[in-house]
Amino acid sequence: MIDAAKLRAIMPYAGDRADVFVLPLVAAMEAYAINTPERAAAFLAQVGHESGQLRHLREIWGPTPAQRRYEGRTDLGNTEPGDGKRYMGRGLIQITGRKNYLLCGFALDLDLLSRPELLEQPVAAAASAAWYWHHRNLNRFADAADFVGLTRAINGGTNGLADRRALWARAKMMLGVRP
């Protein structure tokens, strides 16, 4: 369904990173039932936006006011001093918070609490995004073509919606999804 040329067409700023990520993405998508053109297009659009088209596997840290609020957020499981920065967004869909690192680590058989930087490696970055997609049952949004609902489920709002839609349009075209 996807190859490096299609991935570059969907994410033109990815460049050579498309070659590095295509096999990890294919494997992750197969493992987590992101297995229709509609699901793949929505997934690739969202991870494309969240990762700056495969260029950012770690959240760009300011810290911004929003990032400062990660510290002590019990909904993210950030209960120890320093958890906010230690468990910043990583991977292609930006897994964030001690709790999510723990759950993702269990699913991927990785010790992400001790080594959160593992999510900055291509295989783990792709697998974590597909795990998150599956864990949050996001295929339901892709199947219904509810891209705004999908964006809210991932982002908590609609930040970057125009970019996400542009990526989605390219992904649908490359994967043969009818408008």
Q: Taking the CB of residue 86, how many other CB atoms lie within 10 A of it?
A: 17
How many Å apart are CA 73 and CA 94, to the nearest integer? 16
Q: Is the peptide bond before 179 cis (omega within 30 degrees of 0)?
A: no
Q: Collapse the DSSP code of 25 into the 3-class scheme (helix H, G, I; strand E, B; otherwise coil) and give the result.
A: helix
Out of 50, 59, 117, 120, the active site residue is: 50
Residue 50 among the catalytic residues: yes
Half-sphere exposure of 31 (CA within 13 A, CB side): 19
For 19, phi then psi, to 5°, come to -65, -35
Q: Is 159 helix (H, G, I), strand (E, B) or coil?
A: coil
Interatomic CA distance for residues 149 and 140, integer angstroms: 10
Q: Which residues contact 8 (CB under 8 A, 6 or more apart)?
A: 14, 15, 18
Q: Which positions are annotated as active-site residues?
A: 50
